[in-house]
Chains A and B, each alone.
Chain A
Amino acid sequence: MFVAATTAILVTMALALIRALLGPTVYDRVLAVNMFGTKTVLLIAVFGFLTGRPDFLDIALAYALINFIAIIAVLKFFEYGDLGQSRPSRARRDRT
């Protein structure tokens, strides 16, 4: 069962990789990276059970947090072109 799940996750990773390679717009690639990160989390979790070490589940949780924060930072960057802005209203005023 875990072998089937691992195979499915690897196939999904391949599809996400293809989208990241082809992706016509930046947002396609961002989404592909995000999906790839999610698949990484799942692969780590399943791999832990596959090799009989369920403690990998905790590591997978930490990866989920890293992935989430990284994507938020990237998207914030694309939206404001700057990470230093703490208040979005000021950024919008600067841009116009």
Chain B
Amino acid sequence: MEHLIVIVLLSFLAITAVAIVMLHDLVAVVMLFGIFSLLSAVIFLVLDAVDVAFTEAAVGAGISTVLMLGTLALTTPKEKTSPRFAPIPLLVVIITGAALVYGTLDMPRYGDPTAAIHQHVAPRYLERAPRETGIPNVVTAVLASYRGYDTLGEVTVIFTAGVGVMLLLGSPRRQTKRKRGKR
């Protein structure tokens, strides 16, 4: 049943992707991007990557939809179509895709317990995380305890980015003053 659900969801994903390429109404494309993100989130969740699925749903279906709509409001909701066929970009895409597929051939089989990634530190985390950290979810234990400094660095980067954006945009009061001055 699980496989069947994934197959159905992946075919929905393919249909949505083709529709995104074919449609020229960009508002509709943004809406379809939202559906695409929701579908990806469910697929991640079915594959047991709950945290990735959360990020995908919050960023993909939530904030990026609004950001893209904001961009459309500043530009135009119609796509500029180029009628002539461009062979070189198509060739580049096909070659890159083929190289990526060739690269996956060397990877261990999906869910292979003898793969390198399952042999390094994962068994130790799985064995000792609940006892050493007291956190029932192992992913949370790894993120917040074993890789605590790494996560702290990430949070610092995001905080700095947020401060930078706020400095660039300015406080709302100063903006209204400037507007009044213009009038």
Residues of A within 8 A of B (CB): 3, 6, 10, 13-14, 17, 20-21, 23, 26, 29-30, 32-33, 36-37, 40, 43-44, 47, 50-51, 56, 59, 62-63, 66-67, 69-70, 73-74, 77-78, 81-83
> Contacts of A17 on B, CB cut-off 8 Å?
12, 15-16, 35
A40-B38, A66-B62 known; A23+B28 contact, CB < 8 A: yes
The size class of the interface chain B forms with chain A is 20 to 34
A40 B73 Cβ-Cβ under 8 A: no
Q: Which of B50-58, B80-88, B104-112 contacts A (4 or more CB under 8 A)?
A: B50-58
Instruction: Classify the interface of chain B: helix, strand, loop or mixed.
Output: helix
List 3 A-B pairs, minimum CB-CB distance, nearest first.
A29-B31, A70-B62, A73-B66
A interface SS class = helix
Report whether A40 and B66 are in contact in the complex, using a CB–CB cutoff of 8 Å: no
How many A-B contacts are there with CB distance less than 8 Å? 89
Binding site for A on B (CB under 8 A): 1-2, 5, 8, 12, 15-16, 19, 27-28, 31-32, 34-35, 38-39, 41-42, 45-46, 50, 53-54, 57-58, 61-62, 65-66, 69-70, 73
